[in-house]
C-alpha cells in the first residue's frame, strides 16, 4: 500500500504525460516514444549514461570488495569508527560531495597543490568522465562494501578452514569457496550502484561540465527549463524501463548464485598486524581513508576557515541559531530539527514496510520472485525529477488529504524501501529454518518463534537497514525541494540554499553537521550490531 499510493500512483501520473498526443489531450499514443528512440542524440545519451554507470559500478566493486574484506575479517585500531563512517559518503547530498571534490581535486585543490609541490605539475580531474566515475565510486563504493561485508560475515569460516585442511591454496579457497559465497552480496551492491549511477543527476551536472550529459540531466532540462513535460515524461519512461531491465537481469543472476548455510559460529576477525603479508592491507586501508576522508576533511576545514584569515566558528554559531534566515525561509535550527524528525519517521516507515515485505516473501512465498523483487527496487529506478513532479500533482489531487507534516517522511520512506529489502532479506534467508521448526515443535506459535528465534538472528540486518534509511532521509534533496513548505526545509536543502547565496562557510558547516549526524547514527548502529554479535557468539560457544 505504501508503494502503491506514494510511488506507483504519482509515477503513473507523471509518466502518463509521455503517452499524450498533445498537452492536455485525452488521446494516447506511442508516437513520442518512437520519435525519441529514433533520435541519434537520445541514443547517444543512452549509450553514455549506460557506459558511465558501468564504469562507476565496476570501480565501486573494486573499492567495495577490499573494504568489505577489511571490515568483515580484520580488526584494527578505530575499526568501529571506520565502520560507522564508511557509509557517510553514500548519504551525503550530491552538492556536498561536489563541493568536497572541488576543494580536494580542483585545479587549486589539495591534490593538485600536492602534486605541484612534489613533482611540479598538475592534472585535470574536474569536468572529465573520470571525475564523474570517481565521484560515483565515492558514493557507491561504501554501499558495495557493506553488502560485501554482510555476505562475508554470514560465510561459515569452517568451509574455508576445511578447504585449507584439504590442501587448497589461498587462491583456490578464494575462487571455489569465498567468492561464490559473497557473490550475492557483491552483485546486490553492484545492482544498486549501477542503477544509482544510471539515474545520476547532480554529480554529472556538477563535476562533468557542459561536455557530459545523461538521461536524468536531459529530463531535468526538459521538465524544469523547457517545460516540455510530455517529452520529459516519455524519456523518463524509457529510462525507467532500462533501469528495471538491468535490475531484473542482475537479480536473475543473483538468484542463480550458489547459496551457503549461515555461519554456524561467529566470525572472529584477525588482527591487522605488522607482518609483511599484511603490508598490502595497510596500504589499501590508507588509500581508502585518503580517498573517502579527503573530500570530507576538506569540507570540515572550509567550515572553520575565516575569510579574513585564521580559524572561526561563526558559521556553526549561525546554523544553530533560532533566528529566521532569509535564504532558508526558516531558522537554521528548525531545519536541523526537521531532518532529525523526518529521518526517524521515514526510517520507521521503511523498516516496517520493508520487513513485512521481506518476511512475507521469504517465509510464505518461500522462493525468490525476480519480477516482484524488481518492482521493490522501482523507487530507485525511476527519475527523481519525474517522481517529484508526480508527487506534487498527486498531493494536489487524490492524496490531498494526507497531512502536510507527514508527506515528506512518507516519501522518504518510499525511497528508502529498497534498501531495507536488500539489507534485511539476506539476513533473514540466512536464519536456519531448522531452528524455527524446532521452536514450533516445542510449542511456540509463529509470532513467538519470530520474536525469540528469527528477530534476534536478524537484528544486525535491521540495524543496518535503519541506519541506511535514516541517513538517506536526512540527505534526500530533490523531492524535499519540490514538496516542502518554507517551515519544512531540511539540512541538505539548507546546504543548497546557502551555496546558492554564496555563503560557503555556512554551507560547509551545515554539511559537516549533516555528516556528524549520519556518522553518529551509523556508529550507534555498528556498536549495537557488535553487541548483538557478541551475544550470539557467546550463546553459540556455550
Around 397, how many Cα atoms within 13 Å sit in the side-chain half-sphere?
13
CA-to-CA dists, residue 178 to 86, 150, 186, 430, angstroms: 23, 13, 12, 16
Q: Could you give phi then psi for residue 70, rounded to 5 degrees?
A: -60, -45
Distance CA 74, CA 83 (A): 12
Domains of the chain: 2-262+272-302+316-541 (1.10.3720.10)
Instruction: Give, in order, the Cα–Cα distances in Å from 437 to each of 446, 450, 541.
Output: 10, 11, 22
**What is the full DSSP assignment across 147-181?**
HHHHHHHHB-HHHHHHHHHTT--HHHHIIIIIHHH
Burial class (CB in 10 A: 0-12, 13-18, 19+), 105: buried
Of residues 354, 362, 295, 346, the one with CA closest to residue 480: 346
The angle formed by the CA atoms of residues 451, 455 and 457, to the nearest 5 degrees, is 130
How high is the pLDDT of residue 56?
Answer: 94
Contacts of 95 (CB under 8 A, 6+ apart): 202, 206, 477, 492, 495, 496, 499
- Other Cβ atoms closer than 10 A to 459: 18
Separation CA 168–CA 212 (nearest Å): 48
The tens place of each residue's pLDDT in the chain, 542 residues long, gives 677 777 888 788 777 777 777 666 667 777 878 888 888 988 888 899 999 999 999 999 999 998 888 888 888 787 777 776 777 787 777 777 877 887 788 777 778 888 888 888 888 877 888 889 999 999 899 889 888 887 787 777 777 778 888 787 878 888 777 888 788 778 878 888 888 888 887 788 778 776 788 888 888 888 777 888 888 888 888 888 888 887 777 666 665 544 444 454 556 777 777 666 677 888 888 888 888 888 888 888 888 887 777 788 888 888 888 777 777 777 888 889 999 999 999 999 999 888 888 888 877 776 666 677 777 778 877 777 777 777 777 777 777 777 777 888 888 888 888 888 877 777 777 776 777 777 777 777 777 777 777 777 777 778 878 888 898 888 888 778 777 787 888 888 888 888 778 788 888 888 888 888 887 887 787 778 777 777 766 555 44
What single DSSP character describes residue 309?
Answer: S
Helix count (H) and strand count (E) of the chain? 27, 2
Nearest to 192 by CA among 124, 251, 235: 251
Where do the H-state alpha helices sit in 16-128?
31-37, 40-73, 79-85, 94-105, 110-119
pLDDT attached to residue 275:
67
Amino acid at each position: 500500500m505504501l508503494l502503491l499510493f506514494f510511488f506507483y500512483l504519482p509515477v503513473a501520473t507523471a509518466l502518463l504525460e509521455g503517452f499524450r498526443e498533445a498537452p492536455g489531450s485525452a488521446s494516447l499514443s506511442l508516437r513520442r516514444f518512437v520519435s525519441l528512440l529514433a533520435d541519434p542524440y537520445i541514443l547517444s545519451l543512452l549509450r553514455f549514461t549506460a557506459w558511465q554507470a558501468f564504469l562507476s559500478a565496476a570501480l565501486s566493486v573494486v573499492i567495495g570488495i577490499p573494504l568489505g574484506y577489511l571490515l568483515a575479517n580484520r580488526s584494527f585500531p578505530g575499526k568501529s569508527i571506520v565502520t560507522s563512517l564508511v557509509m557517510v559518503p553514500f548519504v551525503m547530498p550530491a552538492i556536498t560531495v561536489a563541493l568536497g571534490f572541488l576543494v580536494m581535486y580542483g585545479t587549486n585543490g589539495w591534490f593538485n597543490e600536492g602534486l605541484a609541490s612534489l613533482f611540479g605539475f598538475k592534472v585535470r580531474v574536474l569536468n572529465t568522465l573520470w571525475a564523474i566515475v570517481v565521484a560515483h565510486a565515492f558514493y557507491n563504493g561504501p554501499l558495495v562494501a557493506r553488502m560485501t561485508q554482510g555476505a562475508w560475515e554470514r560465510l561459515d569460516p569452517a568451509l574455508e578452514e576445511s578447504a585449507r585442511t584439504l590442501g587448497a591454496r589461498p587462491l583456490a579457497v578464494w575462487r571455489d569457496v569465498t567468492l561464490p559465497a559473497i557473490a550475492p552480496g557483491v552483485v546486490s551492491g553492484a545492482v544498486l550502484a549501477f542503477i544509482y549511477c544510471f539515474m545520476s543527476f547532480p554529480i554529472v551536472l556538477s563535476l562533468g561540465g557542459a561536455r557530459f550529459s545523461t538521461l536524468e540531466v536531459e529530463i531535468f532540462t526538459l521538465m524544469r527549463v523547457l517545460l516540455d513535460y510530455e517529452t520529459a515524461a516519455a524519456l523518463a519512461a524509457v529510462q525507467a524501463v532500462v533501469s528495471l531491465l538491468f535490475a531484473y537481469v542482475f537479480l536473475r543472476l543473483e538468484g542463480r548464485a550458489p547459496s551457503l548455510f549461515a555461519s554456524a559460529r561467529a566470525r572472529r576477525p584477525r588482527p591487522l598486524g605488522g607482518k609483511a603479508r599484511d603490508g598490502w592491507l595497510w596500504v589499501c586501508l590508507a588509500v581508502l581513508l585518503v580517498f573517502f576522508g579527503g573530500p570530507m576533511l576538506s569540507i570540515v576545514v572550509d567550515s572553520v576557515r575565516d575569510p579574513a584569515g585564521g580559524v572561526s566558528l561563526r558559521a556553526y554559531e549561525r546554523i544553530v541559531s533560532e533566528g529566521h534566515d532569509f535564504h532558508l525561509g526558516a531558522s537554521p535550527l528548525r531545519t536541523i530539527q526537521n531532518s532529525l524528525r523526518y529521518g526517524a519517521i521515514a526510517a520507521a516507515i521503511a523498516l516496517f514496510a520493508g520487513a513485512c515485505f521481506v518476511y512475507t516473501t521469504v517465509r510464505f512465498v518461500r522462493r525468490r520472485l525476480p519480477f516482484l523483487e524488481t518492482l521493490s527496487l522501482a523507487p530507485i529506478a525511476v527519475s527523481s525529477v519525474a517522481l517529484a513532479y508526480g508527487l506534487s500533482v498527486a498531493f494536489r489531487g487524490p492524496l490531498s488529504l494526507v497531512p502536510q507534516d507527514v508527506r515528506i517522511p512518507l516519501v522518504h520512506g518510499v525511497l528508502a524501501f529498497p534498501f531495507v529489502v536488500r539489507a534485511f532479506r539476506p539476513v533473514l534467508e540466512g536464519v536456519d529454518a531448522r531452528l524455527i521448526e524446532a521452536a514450533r515443535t516445542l510449542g511456540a506459535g509463529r509470532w513467538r518463534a519470530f520474536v525469540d528465534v528469527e528477530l534476534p538472528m536478524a537484528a544486525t540486518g535491521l540495524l543496518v537497514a535503519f541506519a541506511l534509511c535514516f541517513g538517506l532521509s536526512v540527505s534526500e534533496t530533490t523531492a524535499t525541494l519540490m514538496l516542502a513548505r518554507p517551515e519544512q526545509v531540511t539540512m541538505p536543502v539548507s546546504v543548497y540554499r546557502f551555496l546558492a547565496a554564496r555563503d560557503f562557510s555556512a554551507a560547509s558547516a551545515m554539511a559537516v553537521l549533516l555528516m556528524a549526524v549520519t556518522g553518529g547514527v551509523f556508529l550507534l548502529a555498528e556498536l549495537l550490531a557488535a553487541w548483538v554479535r557478541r551475544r550470539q557468539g557467546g550463546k553459540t560457544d556455550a
